Structure 1
């Protein structure tokens, strides 16, 4: 198995790992925050779903455009202003799963050389498609 194939497989399995880790979690367990500045399980899962949305856009920009600008976002502002702590848990997991499945299908369809395509992230600078996958 090539390194790229192994990386894509690990990427594909992400939602399965999260689902297994959160099986049986409910009520106060989902909302427990180990410290005031830390996120709860519910908030983390919504962050994963929204990060997958952002990742989907970034993947597509790098694949389709030449040297696109990849906009950073304020994850804490998203958590706060999108109400992660008030939103239902199961839709976040399903959204994460569906988006990841589609992102995996797209990335798996590309030739290996596509993973060297680049974009310019507004905070971290030049990144390759492979960097985004990692």
Structure 2
């Protein structure tokens, strides 16, 4: 497999690049992605066997099971980051080693239903919150310690809409390649 093919498997929709000017329509589009993602993901994975769930989506990549649990963990963190930015002045968030989390026993062996339920609840809470935010609140930010950069809430909405689509396509592409879809 060529390096370009591996890159395409890793980033099938490209990397997230937050626009400089984010319109209200763009935010609404991202919110729609977040709002509908839990049902779309559940429909995509709910009938997979354990063997299918334990199939990596790319060489040396996570299994479908690990990806589902990762989404749950990651979006839980995102929800907390929204809350911190809304309630604290320029908070520095806590980063985590997502690759190490994905190697924990729950990520590798637990039923995906627990994470599908968690994603549903976290997205319900997150979407409810962000639909109520004023433009001033959307411009609040947190600081990411790995890059020391300010991340506005409106950019973070886009990042997690991208993250949802990114991992959905990882799974969907594998299912298509295997003839499971």
Q: TM-score, normalised by structure 2?
A: 0.69
Any conservation in 1 of the 2:90–2:142 contact (CA below 8 Å)? Answer: yes
User: Could you give the per-residue CA deviations for residues 104-131 of structure 1, whole angstroms, max 9, x where no partner exists?
Assistant: 1111111122111111101131110112
Q: How far apart are the structure 2 equivalents of 1:67 and 1:82? A: 34
Partner of 1:12: 35
- The alignment of Structure 1 onto Structure 2 pairs a total of residues equal to 134
**1:64-121 C-alpha deviation (Å, 9 max, x unpaired):** 1110001211001111135311111111101111111111111111112211111110
Other structure's SS at 2:103 match: helix
* Structure-2 separation of matches of 1:111 and 1:3: 15
Aligned equivalents of 1:116 and 1:78: distance in 2? 30
Runs of 4+ in 1 over 3 A off after TM superposition: none
| RMSD of aligned Cα (Å) | 1.6
- 5 Å matches for 1:101-120? 101-120=124-143
Q: Secondary structure at the match of 1:69?
A: coil
Contact 2:54 2:65 in 1 (8 A): yes
What residue is the counterpart of 1:63 in the other structure?
86
Residue 133 (structure 1) aligned with residue 157 (structure 2): yes
* CA displacement at 1:20 relative to structure 2: 2.2
**Residue segments in structure 1 that go unaligned for 5+ positions in a row:** none
TM-score normalised over the length of structure 1: 0.91
